[in-house]
Structure 1
Amino acid sequence: MKKILITGGAGFVGRRFCKRFLDQGAEVHCVDPVAEFTGGIHPDKGWPLFNPKDYPNFHFYQQDCRAWFKQHRDDDFDYVFHLAAMVGGRAMIENHPLAVADDLSIDAEYWQWAEKAKPAKTACFSSSAAYPIGRQRAEGYELLKEDMIAFDDDIGMPDMSYGWAKLTCEYLARLAYEKHGLKSACYRPFSGYGEDQDDSYPFPSICKRAMAHVGEDTLTVWGTGDQMRDFIYIEDCVDGVLATIDKIDDGDALNLSTGIYTSFKQFARIAAEVCGYEPEVVGLSDKPAGVFARGGDTTKQKEYGFEYQVSFRDGIQKAIDLYRSAK
């Protein structure tokens, strides 16, 4: 039986990893304080798509992972999925940058714990926010390749304190391998989405807004609505990690992306079409928008044997079907 640790396991991404390994019969240890603004859900409240307490192999610790690290020195974890972070939607990143900076402490204490506990492999979750914002501007943008971040050269300016924290975690992963032989892979997910995501993120909020305004002439989105993202379904992200984690040992980074730019106006139009109407989509310029265009090159993913499967339209359909059934 595999023994798995998932920090931040009660969050959107962590819940998906929990289910995959619980279904496989692994011993899953989920650590999460269920902090405000992070989208974490306590298992006692029931998780949207399954109940983890139905599994005898599920172990939950409602703790800040830093406190958990001080109390546990288990040296037999086969995999650690280090997801713990102070992060929410764009409003969280822009309006609470010092809270997000707490991720520096979370990651530092993880690697200090790992040096002693020596897990067989770590999946370290970075972010597309680590990429230089200079390559994501309206006047000049391009699909982001892993080698655009070079720690021995120019790493560029990442996106806010969240981007800086994720860059630091990647750097620590490389040092952990070079100095202590700790094996890990660093993943840079782009705009992951799914039907059980917290409403503070754009995906559920836009889908639900489209549902709430069926038949109306206009539909609004944050920012100008022209800003573009690379939306990848959460189960594709999980597949990508599980397909590649045993192929990377040295803390090297890998995108989780589709390579497709979709503007928020396009997104809203698709959601409205799925709901059966065709409104004019209007941007709200007073709302946070972030960078203009963020998309991930898929060349390296394909070399490692991973390609996304779920189209964005199909992902939107899945979510709206679930929201309708819940109502």
Structure 2
Amino acid sequence: AWKGDWPLATKSPLVGGHEGAGVVVGMGSAVKNWKLGDLAGIKWLNGSCMNCEFCMHGDEPNCAHADLSGYTHDGSFQQYATADAVQAGRIPAGTNLSEIAPILCAGVTAYKAIKTAELKPGDWCCISGSGGGLGTLAIQFAKAMGLRVIGIDGGAGKEKLCLDLGAEKYIDFTKTKDIVKDVIAATDGGPHAVINVSVSERAIDASVNYVRPTGTVVLVGLPAGAVCKSEVFSQVVRSVKIKGSYVGNRCDTAEAIDFYVRGLVKSPIKVIGLSELPMVYDLMEKGEILGRYVVDTSR
């Protein structure tokens, strides 16, 4: 929505923000199972039809009538925001709202991507883009799920951050001369899965080549106009799977929140006021954000 580089129409004017946490202060007359004072989460998927094939199979994000926070529906960068009562995330009482907010999109998305890879404990999981908002959470989810984690990113402070969060190994793409060779060597034959949360087409291309034979490449990040290239002979002979993973459903959300509540994941955050958003967008454009910025709309 910010750059207008996705092939999806957005509303205009638009209030941004696609992961938010707050207190229920009003409800529609037909809403059940919520009460005033409950803590609720706004997700990227604000609402869906709940009647189509995808919604009935638990694939609500793929609904043709999906309503998207901060894109087709005014988002969470405001004092009062609305959410579909069916899709709103349930947050336990007493939860730190600043800490839980990134779980509602970045966390759910990272968690679902790892589930999509269908790994088993002890497998190598590579997080490409490991120092950002999704990557830092993906490291923790993967570690909590019993996986061995290797992170890939570049820039000041990201290696220490990734290792501190649980990555067993880390590769700085700005320093390596052959990332494919280095990742394969570091993981004894290549990771069993690669979770691509970076917005680099070059990183995606590399992942197809260093993933372990019979492994899975999961595409999550959305570089504008990017194409995933895979040489067919190699993909067939190595039995490599390439999958897309797009946020998560209500069950994925509840599970991701539970990981946070149990103390297994926690997004590295910095809390700012609404007036500081332009500064954050500038840092994001430069790739200089470690973890996640959280906007406190009361400041």
User: TM-score, length-normalised on structure 1?
Assistant: 0.34
Q: Of Structure 1 and Structure 2, which has the larger fraction of its residues in helix?
A: 1
User: TM-score, length-normalised on structure 2?
Assistant: 0.37
